[in-house]
Amino acid sequence: MRLSQVFRQKECVFSIEVFPPKKNGATPESLYPTLEKLAGLSPDYISVTYGAGGGKAGLSTVQIAKHLKQELGVEPLAHLTGINSTREQVAETVQALQDAGVENVLTLRGDICPDAPRSKDFFHASDLATFVKSKGDFYLAGACYPEGHVESENLRQDVENLKYKLDAGVEHLVTQLFFDNARYYRFMNLVRKAGIQAPVQAGVMPIVSARQVQRTVALSSASLPPRFTKMISRYDGDEAALFDAGIDYAIEQLRDLIEGGADGVHLYAMNNPEVARRVYEGIRDLLPEAKA
């Protein structure tokens, strides 16, 4: 099923993101128990990230997306990145997705990796979207940044650049994680004023461990509102308390977004089904049923 149908049926779409296992030679199959638990939360779709480096990086994504679609009955959104990929590599992955019956693809430029050569084929996400669209009848999604992409001069310019993705065939957008909903609402105001009417899902990551604080928060460049930094400081050294507080913060953030009219919410659960379950339980009463 194409995700355009989901957005027509739901006032607020709920999705979860997973990534192929990376540690100690883990295989895609090792993620299957987690996928089964996430499927039990009835997400409208589950997105599957794409590994860095191009080439074989997409094979795990395809396998996991295929398992979601064919074994668990959950619609997958397969990520594709172009920054380290050639046209031939992307074409191979796209064909594998078609063979697996996957209809929905999130096209991304990808993060710059100093240790991997830049692609000469895909300088922008819009270039990748155009190429994927030429290879098959896919539904395309894209990324957006509520506080502006780090390489953009300012937020307004970044919003204007979103039009290139939409012109290339992207039909809905998913935001980078953020912790301050005021930034999201400002971004959405600029998006709609720019004439962009595509659905935008708000991406939220529960921060439940000191490691996430040190890595994810530091690397995301997201603004940290006082309430968030106070939470981190208060529970520094108390992992159990931080876990609970991080869940509560994400639930409050998501409830505000849903009640504020977000087209959808996207949960960056870091392959942790317990985090996903607890967050889902905290927002499920606000998630709408499909329209008749």
> Has 153 been annotated as catalytic?
no
Residues 17, 75, 147, 171: which is the catalytic one?
17
Residues whose CB falls within 8 Å of the CB of residue 112, separated by 6 or more in sequence, listed in order: 83, 118
* Beta carbons of 48 and 102 less than 8 angstroms apart: no
Return d(Cα 82, Cα 66) in angstroms, integer: 21
Q: How far is CA 33 from the centre of its chain?
A: 21
Sign of CA dihedral 139, 145, 146, 151: negative
The 10 Å Cβ neighbour count of residue 176 is 18
Q: β-strand 76-81 against 45-48: which pairing, if any?
A: parallel
Which residues are catalytic, by number?
17
